[in-house]
Amino acid sequence: MTYDKIILGAGLYGLYAAQKCGAAGQRVLVLERDPAPFMRATYINQARVNHSKKLLTATAMPLIDIANECCFGDQSYFSRVFKKYQGVSPKKYRDDLSQRS
């Protein structure tokens, strides 16, 4: 397999660079000995999802705007990460909230 970028060290800036390169369509390999940086990325995504849940609940913002507000880069990535943590898509989450009201 070939990669466009290889990033050594997955500190916050390494992961940020990997995300930006990936969003630009580049194939990225991140090499890190310590698993802790990847856990930081998990915490960051959890914080983004929690913020997006507040926006989905309290506003009528379009999903693409919420994705941008929460720094997901694009709506597709936002939906994948949201579903990973919540078990449903952002649209379904919002729809379920409106049905309960």
- Which residues partner with 6 through β-bridges? 29
At 75, is the pLDDT very low, low, confident or very high (cuts 50, 70, 90)?
A: very high
Number of H helices, E strands in the chain: 5, 2
Do the Cβ atoms of 6 and 32 come closer than 8 Å? no
pTM of structure? 0.62
pLDDT the model gives residue 101? 64
**CA dist 11 to 36, 76, 83, Å?**
9, 25, 25
Q: To the nearest whole percent, how much of the chain has pLDDT over 70?
A: 93
Q: Return the pLDDT at 8.
A: 87
| Non-local CB neighbours of 39 within 8 Å, separated by 6+ positions | none
pLDDT of 82 reads 95
What's the mean pLDDT when you consider all of the chain? 88
